[in-house]
Amino acid sequence: MSTVRRWWRGLSDGLREFYVAPYRRTFARAQREEDDLFTLIVLSEALGVPNPASYYTIELLPLLHERVHEWHTRMGMDRSPLENVACC
């Protein structure tokens, strides 16, 4: 019985890889775009962009700190655009 179960699990894993692999990149890009938008909204206060939700998003700034470097390099900026967030 355990052999059948192992075989079934192996089959399911192989099929999942077959299902996921061709679109892994597309999903990752969509995720990155969403993250970038979120990052921009949270950082908008510091960047001087009007943000109607700053009362809520400002609390998230410390949480984003570690992701800022990845974000600004992806946006085509070699250096951090924020004086108080000097990541590199």
Partner 1 sequence: MNSLLLAVIGIAMVLGGYFLYSKYLASRVYRLDPEYATPAHTMNDGVDYVPTNKFVLWGHHFTSVAGAAPIVGPAVAVIWGWLPAFLWVTIGTVFFAGMHDMGALWASARNRGQSMGMLSGRYIGARGRSLFLVVIFLLLLMVNAAFATVIKNLLIATPTAVIPTWGAIVVAIVVGQMIYRWRMNLALTTVIGVVALYALILLGDAVPIELPEGSAAPFWLTILFLYAGVASLLPVHVLLQPRDYINGVQLFIALGILYGAVLLASPAVVAPAVNQNLPEGTPSLVPLLFVTIACGAISGFHGMVSSGTSSKQLDKETDARFVGYFGAVGEGLLALGSIIAATAGFATLANWEEVYAEFGAGGVGAFVSGGATIVNAGLGIPAGLSATILATTAILFAATTMDTGVRLSRFVVQEAGELMGLRVNKIVGTVVAVGVAMGITFSMGAGGDGGLQVIWPLFGTTNQLLASLTLAVIAVILLRRKRNALPALVPLVFVLIMSVYALIVQLSAFATNGQWLQLVLDVIILVASLWVAFEAAVAMVKAWRGPEVTDDTEPAPASSSAGGSED
Give contact residues for partner 1 (rule: CB under 8 A). 8, 11-12, 14-19, 21-30
Nearer to partner 1, 24 or 86 (CB): 24
Residue 17 Cβ, how far from partner 1 at the closest point, in Å?
5
* Spatial distance between the Cα atoms of 29 and 76, rounded to a whole number of angstroms: 16
Q: Which is nearer to partner 1, 16 or 79 (CB)?
A: 16
First to last CA, the chain: 56
| 35 vs 45 by CB, closer to partner 1 | 35
Q: How far is it, in rounded angstroms, from Cα 88 to Cα 75?
A: 15
- What the block records as the tokens of 61 is 């700034």
Residues in the chain: 88
Q: In whole angstroms, how close is the CB of 4 to partner 1 at the nearest point?
A: 12
